[in-house]
Amino acid sequence: MDRTELNSNEPHSAVNSAINYISQKINDPVLLESLASCAIESNRLAEVCLGTINRIKNKQPVSDRYLLGLAWFLKSIEKG
């Protein structure tokens, strides 16, 4: 096996730091209201991010792809 590729069931190595980062941010009411407002207007990024946050809060499974995407989005809005 190529050591640069993930196994089919192997999560990305950065997912634990993404989860830690996300957990510090997802209870911000301004963030949640902003995402909800944008999602209502069919903003796809907001829809996916809000859905991911809701799955996390409801303790439902979330893939590393969604977690890393959410962490990247949260980091990007933090930087302005």
Where residue 80 falls among pLDDT bands split at 50, 70, 90? low
Please, is 71 exposed, middle or buried when counting C-beta atoms within 10 Å of its C-beta (0-12, 13-18, 19+)? Answer: buried
Q: Where are the domains of the chain?
A: 27-79
Q: Are 22 and 71 in contact (CB under 8 A)?
A: yes
49-70 pLDDT, tens digit per residue, is 999 999 999 999 999 999 999 9
Task: Give tens-digit pLDDT for 32-49.
Answer: 999 999 999 999 999 999
- Residue 58: CA atoms inside 13 Å, Cβ hemisphere, count? 9
CA distance 7 to 54: 27
What pTM, to 2 d.p., does this model score?
0.89
- Report, in this order, helix, strand and coil percent for the chain, each rounded to 5: 65, 0, 35
